[in-house]
Homo-oligomer: A and B are copies of this chain.
Amino acid sequence: MVLPNGPVSTASETEVMLFRLVDEYDRHYEAAAAELSLTAAQACVLGRLEGPRRMSELAVELGCDASNVTQIVARLETLGLAQRQRHPDDRRARVVARTPRGQEVTADFEARFGFARSAIHRLSAAEQRQFGALMSKALGPELDR
């Protein structure tokens, strides 16, 4: 459950909208994963395997402990969606990649998780640009990652 609090008494209308936006986003994300019998974390990791990734890279990217990545990737491997191999240059390291089945599931997930797209497509092209610019400004200097 990653739901934000409901609107607080001092919240502006804009804050309330932001809260709902985040809430809907997260709910749609989990629902799309569940439709494929995946947890959000599994869908999340699988989605990041555009190409072979090192375990450590994933941990940094997700901001979580390496042991956590180990477990999730192990599960994806059991499910036949990902595979670990030794890194050719550093035999301590491992690289994870999607299996062909993992590719399919990823595509399926992205098709189901249409929230971002469908939400944005309710806006005109000009509104989309405006929206992006406003989010960028709102996020401010935290953009570094």
- Residues of A whose CB lies within 8 Å of any CB of B are 1-6, 8-9, 11-15, 17-22, 24-27, 29-30, 40-41, 43-44, 47-48, 50, 61-64, 68, 110, 116-120, 122-123, 127-132, 134-140, 142-143
Contacts and interface: CB of A to CB of B under 8 A. Distances in A.
17 contacts: A1-B40, A1-B64, A2-B40, A3-B44, A6-B48, A8-B110, A11-B116, A15-B120, A17-B136, A18-B135, A19-B116, A21-B22, A22-B26, A27-B63, A127-B134, A131-B131, A131-B134
B20 A22 contact: no
Nearest to A141: B122
Contacts of A1: 40-41, 44, 62, 64, 68
B110 A21 contact: no
Copies of this protein, total: 2
A47 B6 contact: yes
A127 B6 CA distance: 23
A6 B2 CA distance: 18
Contact of A137 (B18, B41, B44, B122): B122
Given A12-B128, A128-B14, A135 B21 contact: yes
B139 A21 contact: yes
